[in-house]
Copies of this chain bind each other. A is one copy, B any other.
């Protein structure tokens, strides 16, 4: 297996300029040479996850974007609102590569035995800078796939699978017997549904459209609620009463939904109280916000007593706190169940150039459930 490797490597670069402008480009850089412990991977598939979008687009106003070119390669310029600029801090003036995870074939390897062992293999990768033709990285950041693995199946081995497993681990560690999940028809939500069915953990799925109810029910989900339905709150309260859920993971972030979930938990807890207590129930209720499908402010009425917490949840923070043994156990399960429990589905496949196409950006930035973009460099 010797394939010809070009002298330059094309990759997506996201640059935030001091003046409040996004400069998003396809750029040519010298092909990296793998060091002793490294491998060079020809990237074959890399997903656009919601967690990639903020780094890629930097909160810029794409509707006001202009296209251009530099060194014969496409560039996009778009204004960044002042509020978004405040969060940019350390990245201003620095071109950032993008893409959390991906898959590809190892075309060159350093001298170490671990690196050499991967030569010619299809691997799943985690570690950023995946929106590129080639990615050079340490062998230990690759997970070798069985021969014949479709690169599409190996593209999303880390972010969604480990997040879904992380929710279940968090529930166990913090003593919650059931889970509520929003945006539950997503690839991540479908994985979580399969894990919870397999592990016997009651799950309340909240989706945003009637057709998504059918999708999850067809996959064996017991509790699926459509937040656009008139009887949503009644259904949510009934599902919480049935499952005893006191923990929720929210992908949406903005708006009132998170607070409504805590309110529904409190309504169930209050019903079980023998005596009125103006300070609410004794039941501890936890909402974790792990995504930002809605970028608007989080808004909640504090109608759920005083025993509650709303917190951020992030996979790297969870893994750091959980420790190496738990992380290893989770990865082993992903590898074993990659095409079953942890299967991903993509609605669109696009090229690296198309990542910079304005109508395409508008489409993938909409983050519609059921629409998932896979880049095939």
Interface of A with B (CB < 8 Å)?
Answer: 54-55, 83, 86-87, 89-91, 94, 96, 253-254, 256, 259, 270-271, 273, 275-279, 289-290, 292, 297-303, 305-314, 316-317
Contacts and interface: CB of A to CB of B under 8 A. Distances in A.
10 contacts: A86-B303, A89-B271, A90-B273, A90-B275, A256-B297, A297-B299, A297-B301, A298-B300, A307-B312, A309-B310
A220 B254 CA distance: 41
B314 A311 contact: no
A278 B54 contact: yes
B308 A312 contact: yes
Query: Can you tell how many copies of this chain the complex includes?
Result: 2
A311 B312 contact: no
A317 B312 CA distance: 23
Nearest to A91: B276
A127 to B, nearest CB: 14
* Most chain B CB within a 10 A radius of its CB, from A91, A306, A313, A314: A306
Contacts of A289: 302
Given A90-B270, A91-B276, 16 more contacts: A87-B303, A90-B273, A90-B277, A94-B276, A290-B306, A297-B300, A298-B302, A305-B312, A306-B312, A306-B314, A307-B314, A308-B311, A309-B309, A309-B311, A310-B310, A310-B311
Contacts of A90: 270, 273, 275-277
Nearest to A84: B303
Contacts of A83: 301
A86 B302 CA distance: 12
A314 B89 contact: no
A311 B302 CA distance: 10
Contacts of A91: 276, 278
Contacts of A54: 278
Contacts of A278: 54-55, 91
A279 B300 CA distance: 23
A303 to B, nearest CB: 6
Given A90-B273, A270-B90, A292 B302 contact: yes
